[in-house]
Amino acid sequence: MSELGLCSRREADEWIAKGWVRVDGKVVSELGTKVTPSQKVTVERQAAAEQARRVTILINKPVGYVSGQAEDGYQPAVVLIKPENRWEEDRSPERFDRNHLRSLVPAGRLDIDSVGLLVLTQDGRVAKQLIGENTNVDKEYLVRVEYTKPGRLPDSELQKLNHGLWMDGKPLLPAKVRWQNDDQLSFTLREGKKRQIRRMCEMVGLRVVGLKRVRIGRVKLGNLPEGQWRYLSPDERF
């Protein structure tokens, strides 16, 4: 079901437990049931209706908030999602409901010292698209840096940031890295190892002094103010 793009694996488990999944017309109630490619998997309308009610929220995360669970005394970004922090220019017709905070998980993380676009979703399909093993959704960051050596970063080192660096014993996927202005780089990545950009910069003698995620796929941070949030609109796709 997950491979067919019907739902996430977690949602599939929930739907099977509720009797909403059929194989060749027969209800499947046992998790892990084997299905052959020739068999037809269908789901009840209740599943689609429940999935349609699940929301995805975009927030401009400030420094000092963690993406997921609270840790080391720092609050999670989800605490900012309350009516008074909703962006007044949000064009989504969705009305805020406390149920929108249930099972809301980050689809990709930003470390505590970084700001910018953070996606929180109840929809397993969105989470899989953004952080699944085979994701091809790129993410763009603006990174303010200082060169820790005399002079300016050589072009050869900039090329290494684009392709050629290794991390955790494996080569990094090709990236798109270019100068945005004299002290700011634009990074576009299709992977997200822990503190990857900061570690990449350290490898070529750069120190990161500011990092902001400005785009995930086709969805941009835009003018969303820091600390405020909005719903992903029905017509938006990553």
Q: Which residues of 131-140 are buried (b: 16+ CB within 10 A; e: fewer)?
A: beeebebbbb
Determine the structural domain holding residue 42 and report its residue range: 9-51
Evaluate if pTM is beyond 0.95.
no
Residue 237 covered by a domain: no
207 and 150: one domain? yes
CATH of the domain at 143: 3.30.2350.10
Residues whose CB is less than 8 angstroms from the CB of residue 221 and which lie 6 or more positions away in sequence, other chains included: 58, 60, 116, 117, 212, 213, 214, 215
Q: How far apart are CA 208 and CA 184, in angstroms?
A: 9
Residue 238 covered by a domain: no
99 and 149: one domain? no
Among the listed residues 173, 214, 211, the one whose alpha carbon sits nearest the alpha carbon of residue 193: 173
Q: Which residues of 6-40 are buried (b: 16+ CB within 10 A; e: fewer)?
A: bbbeebbebbbeeebbeeeeeebeeeeeeeeeeee
124 and 171: one domain? no
Residue 20 covered by a domain: yes
Q: How far apart are CA 129 and CA 107, in angstroms?
A: 9
175 and 119: one domain? no
For CA atoms 174, 176, 182, 183, give the dihedral sign. Answer: negative
164 and 187: one domain? yes
**Catalytically annotated residues:** 111
- Tens digits of pLDDT across the chain (238 residues): 777 667 777 778 888 888 888 899 888 888 888 888 888 888 888 776 666 678 999 999 999 999 988 778 899 999 999 999 999 999 999 999 988 998 899 999 999 999 999 999 998 888 888 987 778 899 999 999 999 999 999 999 999 999 999 999 999 999 999 999 999 999 999 988 889 999 999 999 999 999 999 999 999 999 999 999 999 998 999 9
Q: How far apart are CA 208 and CA 161, in angstroms?
A: 14
Q: How far apart are CA 202 and CA 71, in angstroms?
A: 25
227 and 116: one domain? yes
Q: How many domains does the chain have?
A: 3
Q: How far apart are CA 232 and CA 223, in angstroms?
A: 14
58 and 29: one domain? no
Torsion angle in degrees (nearest 10) through CA of 135, 140, 146, 148:
20
Residue 3 covered by a domain: no
Q: How far apart are CA 16 and CA 27, in angstroms?
A: 8
Q: How far apart are CA 10 and CA 105, in angstroms?
A: 13
Instruction: Give one word for 51, left, alpha or beta, with left for phi > 0 and alpha for psi -120 to 50.
Output: alpha
pLDDT computed for residue 129 by the predictor: 87
For CA atoms 126, 128, 131, 134, give the dihedral sign. Answer: negative
